[in-house]
Homo-oligomer: A and B are copies of this chain.
Amino acid sequence: MKKENSTNSLNERYLLNTCDFNYVLQLIGGRWKSQIIFSIAHGNNRFSLIKQDLDNISDQVLGRQLRSLEIEGIIEKSEIPFSIPKGIQYNFTEKADSLIPLLRELCQWGGQHKRPLDPIKIC
C-alpha cells in the first residue's frame, strides 16, 4: 500500500518532478515489464502467449503488469474478432513504438558491457 507522506513517497515525487528519466524508470523499471514488452515485440500478443514465453511468470503478476502497461499508455487491448477461442489481443501504442528502439539500444549496451558470463540473448 502506498503511503502518501512517507519520505519514501515524497522522494519519489521529488525525483519525478526533477528529471524525466525517473518517469521512464517508472514505466519500465518493474521486474517483468521490459520482458513483456520484448515478448509482445516478438509477436506474442496474447495473454497466454506471453505467459508461455516468460515461463516463470504467474497469471497474477502478468495480469498486473499488463494492466499497468496499459494505464501507462504502452499497450492497448482489443478483442480478436473471429478467433476461436475468442480472445484478447495486446498491441503497442505509438508511444511504445518510439520507446522500443531505445530499449533495444540499452539492451545491446548491456550485452557489451556486463561482466562476461554466459552468452545471453539480445532482445
Using a CB–CB cutoff of 8 Å, the interface residues on chain A facing chain B are 10-12, 14-15, 17-25, 27-29, 31-32, 34-35, 38, 56-57, 95, 98-99, 102-103, 105-111, 113-114, 118, 120-123
Q: In the assembled complex, how far is the CB of residue A109 from the closest CB belonging to chain B, in whole angstroms?
A: 6
* Nearest B residue to A27, CB-CB: B110
A20 near B110: Cβ-Cβ < 8 Å: yes
Residues of B within 8 A of A109 (CB): 24, 98-99, 102
A58 to B56, CA, bound (A): 37
A98 near B113: Cβ-Cβ < 8 Å: yes
| Copies of this chain per assembly | 2
B102 near A21: Cβ-Cβ < 8 Å: no
* Nearest B residue to A123, CB-CB: B19
A102 to B104, CA, bound (A): 11
A107 to B114, CA, bound (A): 22
Q: In the assembled complex, how far is the CB of residue A117 from the closest CB belonging to chain B, in whole angstroms?
A: 8
A120 near B17: Cβ-Cβ < 8 Å: yes
A11 to B120, CA, bound (A): 16
Residues of B within 8 A of A121 (CB): 18-20
Residues of B within 8 A of A114 (CB): 20, 23
